[in-house]
Structure 1
Amino acid sequence: MVGIAIDPHPSDAVLRELWLSAWGDAGPASWQPILQRSLAHVGAYEDEKLVGFVNIAWDGGVHAFILDTCTHRDFRLQGIATKLVKAAENVARERGAKWLHVDFEPHLLGFYRGCGFRPTEAGLIAL
């Protein structure tokens, strides 16, 4: 059974292994500066193995942002990502956020709607 942990602070090597499975690349050189600035982050574990992750960035005030939701390829379609997002919603609320934002690609619309996100207008500039 997969358990959920708030702020587990996984090592870069552990996150890199998950990232490679989920996204097909190594990700940033180090996640530690990212995690230190986050409102929270949530890990999904089967025994000691990190099988899912989501980061919650924030503006230092009332807006929190879901980033990097991912599940190890061997653990997909088990509801893990939904559990991660729900845990992120709860911890963001507990830590004072009033709004939880997420940006996603069109193929993830059904997933995020299923998690309770409603549509909004937004803009984006690639830098």
Structure 2
Amino acid sequence: MTITYEWRGDVDNAALNALHADGFGTGGRPPARTDWRERLERHSLGWVCAREDDALIGFVNVVWDGGAHAFILDTVVATHRRAEGIGAALVATAAQEARAANCEWLHVDFEDRLRPFYFGSCGFKETTAGLIRLR
């Protein structure tokens, strides 16, 4: 089966909410009912959808400041397709498209357990950053 990667691909809210529930868990709650289409159109430079046939199996969102900085958010791959390079391909496509949009920097933050993925598989470099937890 062939996996395709599409920049600013058509997003079905139910499919993306289900992928998020699969990839991030719901803590026993039903999947969120996020209006992804509205959110992406309003805040994103773009996003990458990974599909196998018609099934959404991966996603990454690229938000930006309208200038030099783009940020990776919501990187998720279906649990049954992990460790196959799909996540790295999503991020590589996102980086290519952010570069094409004249962004100079691509930022990401992540949980410590994801260091090998972002630093090893995706090529990010370690930097000093700060974070304030708001909630």
Q: Which bin holds the TM-score, normalised by the shorter protein?
A: over 0.9
Unpaired runs of 5+ residues, structure 2, are none
Taking structure 2 as the reference length, what is the TM-score of the superposition?
Answer: 0.90
Q: How does 1:1-127 map to 2 (within 5 A)?
A: 1-25=2-26, 26-27=31-32, 29-36=34-41, 37-114=43-120, 115-127=122-134
Aligned CA-pair RMSD: 1.1
Q: Please give the alpha-carbon distance, in whole angstroms, between the structure 1 residues aligned to 2:32 and 2:67.
A: 27
CA drift at 1:32: 2.1
Q: State the distance in 2 between where 1:41 and 1:107 align.
A: 24
| Alignment check: 8 A CA contact 1:9 1:35 kept | no
Alpha-carbon distance between aligned partners in 2 of 1:99 and 1:113, rounded to the nearest angstrom: 15
CA contact (8 A) 1:42 1:88 kept: yes
Q: TM-score, normalised by structure 1?
A: 0.95
Q: Does the 8 A contact of 2:14 with 2:33 survive in 1?
A: no
Q: Distance in 1 between matches of 2:82 and 2:76?
A: 9
| Count of residue pairs the alignment pairs up | 127
Matched-pair contact (CA < 8 Å) for 2:5–2:51? yes
